[in-house]
């Protein structure tokens, strides 16, 4: 068990800092909720989207689906062309915590499963994403959480020690990998978790 007090905070981004869900976009494209859910579970599936997080080119990804589902071409293209609409905003309280940490001089990093081009786009809409001391974007590295290699890449690239880091993520699998590598970790599955209280428990000035 890691009992050393951490000095560095490592954030996930999707559903910790940004409110991401393709339904934010597709509720405006489908009149029927059941039809939308079928589309997201059979066409633009989580597994399909994950390959863009792994580094697959978006045009290639769209073309593959359009070939198989030509009747849904416009909705498929929307995932790529209207991607900013899949983000409804931020978790304002968590972004405020991040900014407090920065103001206090606390080193802050991110490991995120994110398409490289979409992360660049997101920084235009949400400038705080450009303020990390370092970011590991899965699509740029062709590695995905919870693969331990992506965590080790963060530690090696930025010369961090696992025992000095607390990692925050909405995925339990990602949290378990972080702990296995010796990091502290906070599971943030929803807004019922008081992230400020959890960080104060570790001694951070928030």
pLDDT digits (tens, 9 = 90+) for 25-77: 999 999 999 999 999 999 999 999 999 999 999 999 999 999 999 999 999 99
Positions of E strands within 99-203: 108-112, 134-137, 165-169, 184-187
Does the pLDDT at position 3 exceed 70?
no
Mean of the pLDDT values across residues 107-119? 98
Could you tell me the two tokens for 46? Answer: 């989580």
Q: What is the pLDDT of residues 146-202, one digit of tens each?
A: 999 999 999 999 999 999 999 999 999 999 999 999 999 999 997 789 999 999 999
Q: What are the CA-CA distances from residue 70 to residues 17, 50, 76, 77, 200 (Å)?
A: 35, 21, 9, 11, 52
> Which DSSP helix (H) or strand (E) runs through 134?
strand 134-137
pTM comes to 0.94
Residue 190's pLDDT is: 78
Closest-CA residue to 76 (of 66, 87, 86): 66
Q: Quickly count: other Cβ atoms within 10 Å of residue 78's Cβ.
A: 20
Give me the phi and psi of 10, to 5 degrees please: -120, 120
């Amino acid at each position: 068990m890691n009992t050393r007090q951490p000095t560095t905070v490592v954030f996930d981004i999707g559903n910790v800092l940004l409110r991401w869900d393709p339904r934010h976009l597709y509720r405006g494209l489908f009149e029927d909720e059941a039809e939308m859910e079928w589309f997201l579970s059979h066409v633009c599936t989580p597994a399909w989207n994950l390959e863009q997080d792994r580094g697959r080119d978006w045009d290639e990804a769209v073309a593959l689906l359009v070939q198989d589902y030509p009747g849904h071409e416009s909705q498929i293209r929307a995932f790529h062309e209207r991607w900013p609409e899949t983000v409804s905003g931020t978790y304002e309280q968590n972004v405020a915590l991040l900014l407090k940490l920065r103001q206090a001089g606390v080193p802050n990093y991110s490991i995120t499963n994110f398409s490289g081009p979409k992360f660049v786009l997101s920084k235009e809409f949400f400038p705080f994403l450009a303020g990390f001391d370092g970011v590991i974007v899965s699509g740029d590295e062709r590695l995905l959480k919870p693969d331990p290699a992506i965590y080790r890449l963060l530690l090696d690239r930025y010369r961090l020690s696992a025992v000095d880091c607390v990692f925050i993520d909405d995925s339990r699998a990602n949290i378990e990998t972080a702990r296995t590598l010796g990091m502290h970790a906070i599971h943030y599955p929803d807004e019922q978790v008081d992230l400020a209280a959890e960080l104060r428990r570790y001694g951070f000035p928030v």
